[in-house]
Structure 1
Amino acid sequence: MSVQGVPAVSRVRGLLLGLAAGDALGAAGGAPPARGPLRAGVGTQLACFTVEGLIRACVRGSHKGICHPPSVVWHAYCRWAAGQGIEPERFRRRWAGGGADKAWPDGWLADVPALAERRGSAPATVTALTGLEQGTVERPVTASRGCHALTRALAVGVLPAGREGSAWVRWARELAALTHGGAAAQSATAAAAVLVGHCLHGASVPQALAAGTEAVQAARDLPGGLAARLADARKGAERQPADPARLALLAPDATAEAVLLGGVYVAASFSGRADVGAALRFAAGAPHGEGVGCVAGALLGAAHGADALPTSPVSRLELAWILDVLARDLVAELTESPGGSEYTDAKDPLWLTRYPGW
């Protein structure tokens, strides 16, 4: 299942591919075109840069002995913004000092064309990034409660400490706070990381969601009412599974907490390995199908692994290869540290070029 607390690579691949499939099907209202690639939404784009930032944070920690992961992920979001054509020269002056001899943005992800295309609106993220000042839990830069804070950060649950509600859960809140100042969005993001962590290691979806909800309840930094609402969403799926009216009631809008509750309801309604495709189609019918689909797809993909995902939509995802590489590289960094450390040589001489530690 895992190596030294790190989940099997199939489950991490399932997490990221399920997230992207849910995003794409949600954008299409559950009825994508019959053929052709399924385009990645902005939520999937930001999730890619989150994973890259987490890898680079681990690299920095290995080589410097100290790291603040949210700050490294903030830099990743700046690379996304520059690639989108959002004040690129201003970002270059901030990160490369304007020097023509310094390549920026760096790392391999900056060269992926589909990540440089505008694929929807992320107003809170863009507002915070263009201000060039990362928000914190104590000093927010926006008041947003939007779901991008959560959907982009679901991969935090891969990190070994995520299930225990310790440092990585605190950092999950800080990742949300970089651009989203709403306390509810920050708490929902941390709770989502806990639930994903349990799905990555759990024996079944119902057991993982129940254990994850208990962990949310026990976490000192998370409001107790959130755990109660998560429990209600799970129990609602037991009483009335796959009810569109209940889904709309749980997830009426695009706030982070709404898409979390909706995603949990969908995952609990379609918990079987053979039900993932039906789950994604049902999630797409929510008022904000992209966000609910991201959460449901991530939870179910993490629980069942990539092989359980429906072949048709996943094989058509335009970023499928990118997501697969990121998943494998995240697991490799956590288990093998291919770039070496302050005291050991790199096993992969190109790792630090792919993932510079800053």
Structure 2
Amino acid sequence: MQLLFDDPAHINRNAKGNFMRHYITGPEVDPVTQKIRGCLFGGAAGDALGAEIEFWDLARIRQRFPEGLTSFSPHDGRSGRITDDTQMTLFTAEGLICATVRAADKGICAPEAVVHHALLRWFRTQGGRPQMQVSDVGLIRDARLQKRRAPGNTCLSALAAAKQFGEPARNDSKGCGTIMRAAPCALIAHSAEQAEQLARDTSALTHGHVLGIEAAVAFARILFEVFEGAPLERAIASVRLSPPIMAALEAAQRAPRDGRPETVESLGGGWVAEEALAIALYAALAGRDFWHGLQIAVTHSGDSDSTGAIAGNLLGLLYPEQALALRHELECSDVIARIARDLALARHGRAEFAEALGDQYPGW
């Protein structure tokens, strides 16, 4: 797939200078940037809420939290910790921003190859040794993102096996690692079809099963439609994929909207992508507000941080102000805010952005 942006030859010194002043001084947050911030902070909040109880069964969760999860629980030494879900989302976003820089500079780009390079930088933060030369710029330098927080084995093994940028994974996995990092594909896209294609191409970098890929495609499509103002039910109805994915969407919509953990568990455990998709959608449909939706998404005997992260991305678009109210409680809030800002600028296809920040986001 190719992304085309403004011709950098049209940049002049005044345009670049004006852009840099606008960028450095912090422009007033526009509605598009606010939605992107809500989505990314929402995902991080869901990730942090579910982090401590991942791998816990429901009986243990209820015993430890008889009143439900009313705040972020300490995990790895403090509350508000993010896990591999948010780490990989941020590196995916970084890769898409880098792809924008490359497209503006070269006039053509294969985003999946550039995102692959970014994910391999994340792989290095987890102690991995890629088979290709990988740069050391950007997020890889942040020590906080070098923490190992139960990364998925499929993601690790697929990245370890890759021999060239953009190469699809050779496995048959449909784990939720495809979908939990798909949000940036929707946030940077200019059409629903582009959001779907970006999700398809980038999810295939680590997971080879068609249902894992299609779950990411479905989620990116739904996020894009909601981002553009569609009601959630209409966004879900826009998806046209294989029968198992459509069945997961239908199950989420037909489940009683009581928000009970037993209802959530009837949709699965969230370990595989289509179940994670169903749980996230159900949480957004049944939740009264942002926090209530997150509580629903994580309170079950399954992959709580991933279902929380996925639901949080969607809930953050539906309730951006409520998601952003929690941002100061989250680890790496400054990084999330910066990536959200730069993703919004990249979405506009600003050639000045590519010229000014090419060193920070190299186009490869």
* TM-score normalised by length of structure 1: 0.82
Is 1:122 aligned to 2:152, yes or no? yes
Matches within 5 A, 1:65-84: 65-84=107-126
Per-residue CA deviations over 1:6-64 (Å, capped at 9, x if unaligned) read 96111100110111110110112346337944211011110010000010111111111
How many residue pairs end up in the alignment?
A: 316
Is 1:180 aligned to 2:200, yes or no? no
In structure 1, C-alpha distance between the alignment counterparts of 2:200 and 2:170, rounded to whole Å = 14
In structure 2, C-alpha distance between the alignment counterparts of 1:136 and 1:230, rounded to whole Å = 29
* 1:170, distance to aligned residue in structure 2 (A): 2.1
Return the letter of the residue paired with 1:188.
A
In structure 1, C-alpha distance between the alignment counterparts of 2:151 and 2:120, rounded to whole Å = 16
Q: Which range moves more in the overlay, 180-189 or 27-36?
A: 27-36
| SS of residue in 1 equivalent to 2:310 | helix
Is 1:147 aligned to 2:166, yes or no? no
Distance 1:250 1:78, change over 3 A: same
Q: Give the conservation status (yes or no) of the 8 Å contact 2:188–2:344.
A: no
Q: Give the conservation status (yes or no) of the 8 Å contact 1:7–1:201.
A: no
In structure 2, C-alpha distance between the alignment counterparts of 1:95 and 1:181, rounded to whole Å = 24
* 1:354, distance to aligned residue in structure 2 (A): 0.8
Return the letter of the residue paired with 1:42.
D
Q: Give the conservation status (yes or no) of the 8 Å contact 1:146–1:180.
A: yes
In structure 1, C-alpha distance between the alignment counterparts of 2:42 and 2:164, rounded to whole Å = 29
Q: Give the conservation status (yes or no) of the 8 Å contact 1:145–1:255.
A: yes
Q: Give the conservation status (yes or no) of the 8 Å contact 1:28–1:284.
A: no
Is 1:105 aligned to 2:171, yes or no? no
Structure 2 counterpart of 1:284, from 285, 298, 319: 298
Match of 1:357 in 2: 363
Structure 2 counterpart of 1:131, from 153, 161, 178: 161
In structure 2, C-alpha distance between the alignment counterparts of 1:119 and 1:162, rounded to whole Å = 34
In structure 2, C-alpha distance between the alignment counterparts of 1:144 and 1:225, rounded to whole Å = 15
In structure 1, C-alpha distance between the alignment counterparts of 2:341 and 2:305, rounded to whole Å = 24
Matches within 5 A, 1:267-282: 267-270=284-287, 272=288, 275-282=289-296
* 1:168, distance to aligned residue in structure 2 (A): 3.3
Distance 1:135 1:181, change over 3 A: farther
Distance 1:229 1:134, change over 3 A: farther
Structure 2 counterpart of 1:296, from 311, 315, 333: 311
* TM-score normalised by length of structure 2: 0.80
Is 1:55 aligned to 2:97, yes or no? yes
Q: What are structure 2's unaligned runs of at least 5 residues?
A: 1-29, 54-68
Q: What are structure 1's unaligned runs of at least 5 residues?
A: 1-5, 97-103
| SS of residue in 2 equivalent to 1:67 | coil
Distance 1:33 1:169, change over 3 A: closer
Q: Give the conservation status (yes or no) of the 8 Å contact 1:154–1:298.
A: yes
Return the letter of the residue paired with 2:39.
L
Matches within 5 A, 1:16-35: 16-29=40-53, 30=69, 32-33=72-73
Return the letter of the residue paired with 2:235.
G
Distance 1:181 1:136, change over 3 A: farther
Distance 1:161 1:134, change over 3 A: farther
Q: Give the conservation status (yes or no) of the 8 Å contact 1:43–1:151.
A: yes
In structure 1, C-alpha distance between the alignment counterparts of 2:191 and 2:266, rounded to whole Å = 29
Structure 1 counterpart of 2:80, from 28, 38, 62: 38
Is 1:245 aligned to 2:258, yes or no? no
Distance 1:20 1:66, change over 3 A: same
In structure 2, C-alpha distance between the alignment counterparts of 1:133 and 1:77, rounded to whole Å = 13
Q: Give the conservation status (yes or no) of the 8 Å contact 1:260–1:295.
A: yes
* 1:113, distance to aligned residue in structure 2 (A): 0.8
In structure 2, C-alpha distance between the alignment counterparts of 1:32 and 1:308, rounded to whole Å = 15
Q: RMSD of aligned C-alpha atoms? A: 2.4
